[in-house]
Amino acid sequence: MTATDTTMKIVVLDDFQDLVRHLDAFALLRERLPQADIVVHREWADCDDELVARLAGADIAVLIRERTRLTREVIERLPRLRVIVQTGRVARDSTAHIDIAACTERRIAIIEGESDGVSAAELTWALVLAARRRLPQYLRYMDQGSWQYSGLEDPTFPRGFGMGVSLDGATLGIWGYGRIGRILGRYGAAFGMKILVWGSERSRAAALADGFQSAPSREALFEQSDVLSVNLRQSDSTLAAVTYEDLSRMKPTGLFVNTSRAGVVAPGALVRALAQGRPGMAALDVYDTEPLPGDDPLRHLENCLCSPHLGYVEKNSYEILFGSAFRNLVTHLAAGERTAAGAP
């Protein structure tokens, strides 16, 4: 399969906002592959049969981050599939949303793209501000006719919990000081916060070099943070890294934020901790099951702010993700060969 193959079919999956066709990156793909048949699907496939039907006859499948799972069972039913384009990176362990072994056996190439982390950091900070100032609660009750009323009056909450609290002078805990963690550190410092970092030895050294403090221990990070953001890559080594015991160390007024991956928090730990009042509030953008089911307890907790996995859902981020992935795809096709799975 080459870039001049007139029978090439490219299928883009799960473009919920119908944005991909309007990207500069998409125009570039059209320009470089003018004969390709490009099909874009907006809706989520409800089952494997529907997913296979959408990918029937596809030479190339384009995935938007981890929205679509390509299991061995699905891959084996797609005889024409030769390339998977992943916007972002693919995990290389059991947490991967693509069956890497099945791709390797079929010699299906996985082409990856890059991201800059800015959109995720901005969304994280928006959640921090909204949660600390109780903005969603105030807006909800304002729509119902109330004025300056947040509704956060459960007797288990600390006195005055319903009133917002500024960030100036508070402690921002960051677990995971990679690209996003470093941006959050700058944001926190700009808001007058004390920055406390935990992570690998390398992460803590980087934080110190940036002028921030390293937490003396993991326990201290949870105990001392007024706002704690976990920014860990999900992998076999980080699954369930945040435990109920960790969360229960947080202050009753503390805010726990997770915009990285849901799997880094032990199943059920956050719901249990919020019910016990430590931490007092959480803000989330990622979930074990997405879309988040209507009966999930997280949806019904007054002290939990949930957004629908919007960290990377932003136009500039899409241009970076799709632009890099599509350029790598065109380069791969121009080479006129199928590389091993995982090699751009």
Structure tokens at 269: 């730990």
Which residue in the list 73, 290, 299, 337 is annotated as catalytic? 290
For the question of residue 122 being annotated catalytic, the response is no
For the question of residue 41 being annotated catalytic, the response is no
Which residue in the list 261, 278, 327, 332 is annotated as catalytic? 261
Which residue in the list 106, 278, 309, 327 is annotated as catalytic? 309
Cα 149 from Cα 164, distance rounded (Å): 11
Cα 251 from Cα 165, distance rounded (Å): 14
Query: Regarding beta strands 60-64 and 9-12, do their DSSP bridges make them parallel or antiparallel, or are they unpaired?
Result: parallel
For the question of residue 140 being annotated catalytic, the response is no
Cβ–Cβ under 8 Å, residues 257 and 283: yes
Cβ–Cβ under 8 Å, residues 181 and 231: yes
Beta strands in 170-264 (DSSP E): 171-175, 194-198, 213-214, 227-230, 255-258
Local structure of residue 340 (DSSP, 8 states): P
Cα→Cα distances 266→46, 94, 135, Å: 27, 16, 28
Query: Regarding beta strands 60-64 and 109-112, do their DSSP bridges make them parallel or antiparallel, or are they unpaired?
Result: unpaired
Closest among 167, 164, 165, 197 to 183, alpha carbons compared: 197
Local structure of residue 67 (DSSP, 8 states): S
Dihedral of the alpha carbons of 165, 184, 234, 14, in degrees to the nearest 10: 90
Q: Which residues are catalytic?
A: 261, 290, 309
